[in-house]
Amino acid sequence: MSKMFDLSGKVAIVTGANTGIGQAIAVALAEAGADIAAVGRTPAEDTVEKVRALGRRAEIVSADLSSIEPVQRVVDETLEKLGGLHILVNNAGIIRRADSVDFTEADWDAVVDTNLKSLFFLCQAAGRHMIGQGYGKIINIASLLTFQGGIRVPSYTASKSGVGGLTKLLANEWATKGVTVNAIAPGYIATNNTAALQGDETRNRQILERIPAGRWGEASDLGGAAVFLAAPASDYVQGHTLVVDGGWMGR
């Protein structure tokens, strides 16, 4: 593999790694040579098996990122079990749907705490280590709603807009310290988070009609973007949100 995309000897934390986008990114990073700390509320045995089948090391780090309580432990366990930390992928996230006039404080807090607050403090904890070693790659998972308003998901839109802003801020602060901070904004990807949209005949049709590629994305469609942002090929890319959406934003 070209050294520009070679992750041999690197250790990556991937949150929400048990299924969907997180699992696909973990496997893609492993294919490029990285060892994986698979973080999630539920054990990511399937992901670990897939990574180990590629000849890479993989360890489960159990953590519920609905609060920041386990954040430092995630970094510490990764260092203890895998001996390093070079890449952080902040993928863990949740969504709540309701009309804005009916949206509850509980649903607001649950989404913002997981998608934005824990993301920042995990960036902070990993960033301290990365700055200390003079090298690191942070990849935050944003959304089309980093750029658009959406409907019936106010806390999700707010959190993902915040992810875009934090990505820029951290890049501004850490670019001279050897740490790159970027984001990926997935389009409409067929995962558990979008099951309600896929199951709504009208919304599903409307979504497909707007996507130039003519299909929902697969989680594996994000693997190449993640490898690029984790690899030396992106060393001069900072504060950028890379949209992977089948052409949705260009329509």
The three-point CA angle 202-206-212 to 5° equals 150
Q: State whether the Cα torsion 29-235-129-141 is positive or negative.
A: negative
Q: What is the dihedral of CA 140, 84, 16, 128, to 10 degrees?
A: -50
Active-site option among 135, 156, 188, 236: 156
Backbone angles phi, psi at 37, to 5 degrees: -100, 110
Query: Which tokens go with 114?
Result: 């997981």
In the residue annotation, 156 being an active-site residue is answered as yes
Q: At what angle do helices 118-133 and 154-174 cross, to 10 degrees?
A: 20
The catalytic residue positions are: 156
